[in-house]
Amino acid sequence: MPETTKEPTDLDLWLESSCAGAIRLEPSADFDYAILGVGTQFDQQPCIVYSIPKVLEVLQTAQSMSQEEAWEWFHFNIANAFYGGVQPMFVEPTWKPQP
């Protein structure tokens, strides 16, 4: 059976040009929804930045987990996992400045 190749999306091309070699959560068809952008830190290669609430939402919808299961899975198997390569960054975007 011949191997099928998927055409790269605009997001694929942007990530490849912005942070080649960065770890991307799989299945990307689900977790790409949670991408906020690309982050950089001093003396580090650029990495993919994910929204924690959106990652939890993906786990609850696409993976059929409860809120508690998603939180536990995220902390033990995603946020605290060592992937090798350029680790993703996870952000809790909930802080709002006071007027």
Length of the chain: 99
Residue type (1 letter), 11: L
pLDDT tens profile 19-44: 988 999 999 999 999 999 999 988 88
| CA dist 10 → 16, 24, 40, 79 (Å) | 10, 15, 21, 26
Which has the closest alpha carbon to 84: 35, 12, 24, 19?
24
Query: Model confidence over 61-76: pLDDT tens digits?
Result: 999 999 999 999 999 9
**φ, ψ (nearest 5 deg) of residue 60:** -75, -35
Residue 30 pLDDT: 95
What's the pTM value of the predicted model, to 2 decimals? 0.85
Task: Parse the chain into domains and list their residue ranges.
Answer: 22-91
* Signed CA dihedral, 26, 30, 31, 32: sign only: positive
